[in-house]
Amino acid sequence: MTAVPLPVRRLPHGADLPLPAYATEGAAGFDLLAAVAEPHTLAPGKQALIPTGLAFAIPAGYEGQVRPRSGLAAKHGITVLNAPGTIDADYRGEVQVILINHGDLPFTVERGMRIAQFLLAPVTRADLTPVDSLDDTARGAGGFGSTGLASA
């Protein structure tokens, strides 16, 4: 595994929170913490923009991906609304997480709570080439369930 330097700036409202860390040796992402000033309760069906108190200088050729935490999703129905959220390499503002409550009960986000995962991923840019037609495949233009529900 290759470590890529990732400069991080703590913002004043997150200065007392620990820096993100990988929870295990094999973890693909590190956890982002909530830098809320007061507990914030998400009612069922509601979303909120939760600050992390962090800004990153993502290297050129990479993106930051903000993804849900599986435990929050499985136990409480809490997920990241635009998952995965993309943080572009030229963005220098605060990383914030759009959480949504898909559960049946209100959920309270507390200061320092682990709310999402952040992955640093390489980016490949497409070189769009206009053509008059595309090659044929067995699937063709079939989509949105065209392959059915049952396994073969």
Residues in the annotated binding site for substrate? 69-71, 82, 86-88
Nearest in space to 32 (alpha carbons), one of 120, 113, 122, 121: 113
Q: Which segments are annotated as binding site?
A: 69-71, 82, 86-88
Q: With the CA atoms of 85, 53, 28 and 69 taken in that order, what torsion angle do they form, in degrees rounded to the nearest 10?
A: -70
- The strands making up 62-67's β-sheet, listed across from edge to edge, are 30-33, 114-122, 62-67, 85-87
Q: Contact, 11 vs 53, CB < 8 A?
A: yes
